[in-house]
Chain A
Amino acid sequence: MSEVNSSQEPEVLKPPAIQLGVLGWLRGNLFNTWYNSLLTLLFFAIFWKLVPPLVKWAFIDSRWYSSAEACRDIDGACWSIIPANIRFILFGFFPHDQQWRPLIAMLLLVAMVFYSKDRRHWTRLLLWIWPAALAVMGLLMHGGLFGLSVVETSQWSGLPLTLMLALFGMFAAYPLGVLLALGRRSRMPAIKSLCVVYIELIRGVPLISLLFMSSVMFPLFLPEGVTINKVLRAQVAIIMFTAAYIAEVVRGGLQAMPRGQYEAAESLGLNYKQTMRLIILPQALKIVIPPSVGILISAFKDTSLVVIIALYDVLKTTKVTLSNPKWAGYSTEAYLFLAVLYFVCCYAMSSYSRKLEKALHTGR
């Protein structure tokens, strides 16, 4: 073969013009078979029909900063509902002159998230910074120290409430979930069955039933005169719910550990607690970081359910705004704004989890 090639100059053929550039891309990706061509044309026809009216509604005929009255006689979207009510939607019934406090708390949270994103910052120190940051956020929200006036939890509302329910839910549920997962893999039948019953029971019922339980049933459980506020009760329900799901994820990580790891730890003379703390959990928890981010995303989305037991999260404050006769009828605009808000948060988290999965999937 090589002799044949060396005897004559290799002829470099240029690909035909139809395979290059825009035309080639179109041919390769949109019109490569007859049914793909048909599909492409069909979708272009649908776009042709749908996009212009939507653009006209959202951008051309719309109002962005106007009074509610100015919106009455237009055909387009009335985005003015967002800027006009943004403070109520974001902070709800938090005292108006104190709203800088939840704002700073949320900025702190964003800063923490950005700091923790980088894997180089994943040290033991970070495990201490997070509880400290959460404590500072709680202090900012609740007040009572350093001359900050006390704001009762019944006034916590809007986006800070949503974020708080999701974050505290996740942080408190994680240790509980790990314990449940260990319990489920335990060799002690009583412990194992308690954990199995708990996990399966919680995973078998909707979150709403737990929230109902926290709002209508829980007060009956407490001795006379003792009351726990509504936000905390909902928080407990979310923690109980999330813990069961975390337990299943962590169990997956524990099951992925080869037997050799347990046996090696045993042969070194480590007891159960040492084996778990030093050998098994550090590896298992590393495996389950990406699915844990998935649980954080669902916890974040699920906090919107507290609307049903009349807590004022960001969805409920939006609904309150919409029940104002002045702004009634612009639900589509308000809900689209909220959808974008949720989408940005969840999409950032899920794409981060995908990146993390790739980075952590280094093989052994």
Chain B
Amino acid sequence: MPFWRDPAKRALVFQVAALLVVLLLGYYLFSNTQANLARQSIATGFGFLHQEASFEIGESIIPYSAADTYSRALLVGALNTVRVAFLGIIITTILGTLVGIARLSTNWLVSRLAGGFIETMQNIPVLLQLFFWYAIFYEAFPAPRQALHPLPGVFLCNRGLVFAVPQQHPAHVAMAWAFLAALVGGWLLHRWARRRQERTGQLFPAVRCALLLCLALPALVWALYGAPTAMNVPVLRGFNFSGGLTVSPEFAALLVGLVLYTSAFVAEIVRAGIQSVGQGQVEAAMAVGLRPGQVLHLVVLPQALRVIIPPLTSQMLNLTKNSSLAVAIGFPDFVAVASTTINQTGQAIEGVALIMAVFLFFSLSTSLFMNWYNKKKALVER
């Protein structure tokens, strides 16, 4: 039998050929690149990471100055990306769920409004939305002197959103610890309640007690510290506000744009998930005498979440990837900093490789977490 009639041998030849083509192509590109880099005398390798960056970054959550290294600048960018993605994911999940439930509301007006929101947001490119919100901040909002003042201590102007925060006090750190302790306590309580219910069948309002604990414990600590109420209120000084906390227009526009765009997709996912639970399930649950809250909590949500979580994961990843559009409105996220680095050092290959590596890391870690959560919620069959 000639070898091209034998499927096993044919497959081997085919694979070797494919690998050879890929390797040859890779070698060809690599040798071209080597020659080009040598000719343009561009350095290679990641040595530039230790050089002085000598450019300023608009906002940063860690101390940074132009005298710091490129690696520090890139770290600032990565942290900014994480900040946007983290806040964005939380707000998107909440808003998307609300809109998804509103889409199913029996109230005609609410359902239609939610539908309109979803269609509008899904069908306009997210970059255009970012430009739009950024333009609103810059053109429609007044200068700090005539800042809008919707709530006491909150100012809205073309320098961003400025609002009052409590004056720093040791009580706040203690309150954070108390909150953490309450969370752990609540979780333990929930576990204990479930064990007891499995053993004896008796119900215990664990979730409500845990919520109460989360509120009461920090409040108690706050009262023990003498109930500090001093606020750091922003005041107009010269042409800008000082004091308080400022959210820059770039950050605000990026967050608003990403959240509105992604929450439209999340809303559709939530709606489909809830609709996937058959009406019979709800009716059966009501027939055994569960209250509406219990029906939602014990019957509908556990089944709906199974349908919702996988597509929700990919939307969260989309949000993280879309946060790279920050570069277009001047928010210093990782891509923006890496792009400046490329322009300054000329080391395009390393820069693009860094961008890809960082986003692959974000993508993989998000999907790992979501896969773990999905496995926890997945159907356990006997």
Contact = CB atoms under 8 A, between A and B. Distances in A.
Q: Which of B129, B131, B138, B351 has the most CB of A within 10 A?
A: B131
Interface in B128-152: 128-129, 131-132, 135-136, 138-140
Contact of B39 (A43, A222, A224, A331): A224
Interface string B188-223: 000000000000000000000000000000000000
A204 B32 CA distance: 27
A233 to B, nearest CB: 13
Interface in B16-44: 16, 18-19, 22, 29, 32-33, 35-37, 39
A213 B131 contact: no
B60 interface: no
Contact of B321 (A40, A189, A206, A219): A206
Interface in A202-220: 203-209, 212-213, 216-217, 219-220
Contacts of A350: 119, 122-123
A325 to B, nearest CB: 14
Interface in A183-214: 187-191, 194, 201, 203-209, 212-213
B342 to A, nearest CB: 6
B69 interface: no
B108 interface: yes
A135 B171 CA distance: 71
Nearest to A345: B123
A87 interface: no
B125 A304 contact: yes
User: Max chain A CB contacts within 10 Å: which of B113, B327, B352?
Assistant: B352
Given A43-B110, A216-B342, A224-B35, A335 B135 contact: yes
Contacts of A191: 14-15, 18
A302 interface: yes
A294 to B, nearest CB: 10
Contacts of A302: 125
A166 B14 CA distance: 33
B123 A217 contact: no
Interface stretch (B282-290, B296-304, B354-362): B354-362
Interface residues of B, number: 57
Contacts of A331: 131-132, 135, 138-139
Interface string A310-353: 00000100010000000001011001101100110011001000
| Chain A binding surface, main DSSP class | helix
A194 B35 CA distance: 27
Contacts of B19: 190, 194
In terms of DSSP, what is the predominant structure of the interface of chain B?
Answer: helix
Contact of B348 (A207, A220, A304): A220
Contacts of B22: 194
A209 B132 contact: no
Interface residues of A, number: 53
B184 interface: no
A305 interface: yes
Contact of A213 (B11, B120, B352): B352
A29 interface: yes
Interface string A280-322: 0000000000000000010001101101100000010001000
Contact of A204 (B131, B342, B363): B363
A343 B15 contact: no
Contacts of B36: 219-222, 224
A54 interface: no
Contacts, number: 160
B107 A201 contact: no
Nearest to A209: B355
A332 B138 CA distance: 10
A363 interface: no
B139 A338 contact: no
Interface in B56-110: 105-110
A16 interface: no
A36 interface: yes
B322 interface: yes
Contacts of A297: 123
B263 interface: no
B328 interface: yes
A84 interface: no
Contacts of B135: 331-332, 335
A278 interface: no
B80 to A, nearest CB: 15
A43 B71 CA distance: 50
Contact of A332 (B139, B342, B355): B139
Nearest to A351: B119
A213 B18 CA distance: 24
B364 interface: yes
A190 B321 contact: no
A15 interface: no
A108 to B, nearest CB: 24
A164 to B, nearest CB: 16
A207 B76 CA distance: 22
B348 A206 contact: no
Given A194-B22, A205-B360, A331-B135, A305 B127 contact: yes
A342 B131 CA distance: 14
Contacts of A307: 127, 328
Given A194-B22, A205-B321, A220-B33, A346 B355 contact: no
Given A201-B360, A206-B322, A315-B131, A347 B140 contact: no
A332 B39 contact: no
B124 A315 contact: no
B128 A212 contact: no
- Count chain B CB atoms within 10 A of each CB in A40, A220, A343 and give the residue with the most: A220
The 9 lowest CB-CB distance pairs between A and B, nearest first, are A331-B135, A29-B108, A346-B123, A190-B15, A206-B321, A301-B125, A216-B348, A204-B363, A206-B324
17 contacts: A29-B109, A30-B107, A36-B105, A36-B110, A190-B15, A201-B360, A204-B359, A205-B321, A205-B359, A220-B32, A220-B33, A220-B36, A220-B348, A221-B36, A297-B123, A339-B128, A342-B123
Given A204-B363, A221-B29, 12 more contacts: A30-B108, A190-B15, A204-B364, A209-B335, A209-B356, A304-B127, A305-B325, A331-B132, A335-B135, A342-B128, A347-B123, A350-B119
Interface of A: 29-30, 32-33, 36, 39-40, 43, 187-191, 194, 201, 203-209, 212-213, 216-217, 219-224, 297, 301-302, 304-305, 307-308, 315, 319, 329, 331-332, 335-336, 338-339, 342-343, 346-347, 350
